[in-house]
Structure formats: structure tokens, C-alpha cells
Amino acid sequence: MTAMKQWAEGLSFPEGPVVAPDGSVLVVEIRGRCVTRIFPDGRVERVLEVPGGPNGAAAGPDGRLYLCNNGGFNWARRDGLDVVAGRADDWIGGSVQAADLAAGTLETLFTECDGRPLGAPNDLVFDHVGGIYFTDNASTYPRHQDRGGLYYISPGLDRITEVGFPLGHPNGVALSPDGSRVYVADTLTSAIWYWDVESPGVLAQGPHDGGANFLYRLPNVKTFDSIAVDAEGNIAAATLVEGSVVVVSPRGETIAVHEMPEPDPLTTNVAFGGDDLRTAFVTSGGRGRVYAMEWHCPGLRLNFSEIRLPAAGPV
């Protein structure tokens, strides 16, 4: 693996990178409340305004970009970094949404499960049949925090089910290459948990909270944001506090730790793209940047990747 190189800057807390077939990378800007397209030459173009707090993103089977929306945060600026300062005063509630970027439209799909409002949906991944696993890391208040959970939206978008509850602060979610495991990185516990998949949206129950099985815990003071999986089944995890990308085997072993080129305690996401999926794109939320680095093997090819894109604006 090679060192990270800066690929884009000037973003307002980027997360949720999605690599489009044309080589451009879509990110959400949580503070900027939008979806942004980064072209291979580094040019940046906002393509859709998204009220609230767009967080995780994934390409769906219908060409739309699916989003988790945390409802919005308050923000502060500290030591040159954008930092979250609690739930927004104008919080609009958590939701899962679908954006048609070519048409410039945004549809809100779900705001609750079994009559209980979603708190702060964070990240999502599609399985092979078109169902969606997503995390809700719940709302945070000045003196307490709700419990988070893992949810499943069935193909056809007609039902939402709670499949892992309660969890601490579930953040990134990803599937193993064969789809037999769902991984969740939890910020509160600094751990990666997993469930064995019995059938789409049906998970075998393990011994820990939410029916999870333990895989890995970070040492020192690091904790997790989001995750991606490569073709060998390794988990690439962006870390907070001591910003880095930690590579974990499916057996729970540390393979490598890649530090950020410039320290950022808010390193947020990883996605694979480029030739043969051998480029890892890493979002630096606090510094508003995207980095790129060569990976030792291809990233995992996601179940869906086609996205309807708007025509490119002027150079």
C-alpha cells in the first residue's frame, strides 16, 4: 500500500463516498447539507441540496443515490477543524432518503420503524437482492443518548425491520464478500460487531447486545466511524480521535494502520474505486478533504454501482 494523497479539499464535513462508473466520486457534505460530485481532475461540483444532515450514501438498483439523514447537527470550529456540537437547533428528524441526481429530486422513504421515530440514521449498504441494511446511531442530548440499532429495508422499499437492537452508537455498516456477514462499527464501544445472515434481513442472534458477535476492538483512544470491505474480506475502518484507516481481517486481526497525511481526529469513511477497484478514497471530515491511496488488492465490488448523474457543469 502507498501513502495517501490529497484528492479534493474545501468540503464541509464530507462523508459517504460513492464511486460512480465514470470515475467521479460522490460525497455528502454533512455541514454543507448537500451531495457533491468530485471529478477525477479534482474539480468539485454541488449537485443536490439535502436539508438536515445527509450522512451515509449508497448506489441503489434503480440508479438513485440512497442516503441516511441524521436530521442535522450544530457545528463548531476548533483548531482548524469542523466538529459536531450536538443535535441541530433546527433538527428535522432522522430518515432514509433516495435522490435522483439527474432529475434533482429527493424522496424521503422512512422516518420511523414500528411507530418509533428514527433518531440519526448514519450508514447503509445494499445486499444482493436490493434490500438495505442501515445503522441508526440515535439522537444525542446534553445529558443522555438514545440507544442505536441496525435495521433492514426490504427489496421494493415496502417494509422496515429492526434487526439488531439495542446497540451503543452504531456507525459504519458493510457486508462480507459472500454476503454471509453484516459488519457494524460502533463508535461508543470502539468495536466491530457482526451478525451471520440466515436470509436477507434475517440475522442469527449472537451473545451480545443487539444479538451481535464480537470481532475486534481498537486499542488506545481510537474509536470507529465508517467501514468498507475489500475483495479479500478485510475491513477498512476509518477511525476517530486518532485519525487513521485501520485494516482488520475477518478473523479480527490487525493487518495494517494507515495514518492520515495531516492529523484529523475526524477521519470518517472509506470507499473503493479506480482501476480494478485498487484505489481507496478516504474522507477527512474535520479538514474537509478527500484523500486517495493505492490498496493492496481490489476493493469489494458492491452489489449496485450505476447512478443516474446530472450533466457536468462548466469546467
How would residue 315 be classed by pLDDT, with cut points 50, 70 and 90? very low
Q: Regarding predicted confidence, which is higher, 85 or 99?
A: 99
The tens digit of pLDDT for each residue in 237-247 reads: 999 999 999 99
The tens digit of pLDDT for each residue in 288-304 reads: 999 999 999 999 999 99
Q: Within 13 Å and on the Cβ side, how many CA atoms surround 29?
A: 24
CATH homologous superfamily, domain 5-294: TolB, C-terminal domain (2.120.10.30)
Per-residue pLDDT, averaged over 191-218, amounts to 97
3-state secondary structure of 209: helix
What pLDDT does 313 receive? Answer: 61
Alpha carbon distances (Å) from 205 to 99, 108, 202, 208: 33, 30, 9, 9
What pLDDT does 146 receive? Answer: 82
Q: How far apart are the first and last CA of the chain?
A: 32
Q: What is the pTM of this model?
A: 0.96
In this structure, the number of other CB atoms found within 10 A of the CB of residue 214 comes to 14
- Give the residue extent of every domain in the chain: 5-294
Q: Regarding predicted confidence, which is higher, 143 or 279?
A: 279
Grid cell for residue 91: 433538527
Q: Across the strands, what pairs with 157?
A: none
What's the one-letter identity of residue 125? V
Grid cell for residue 90: 433546527
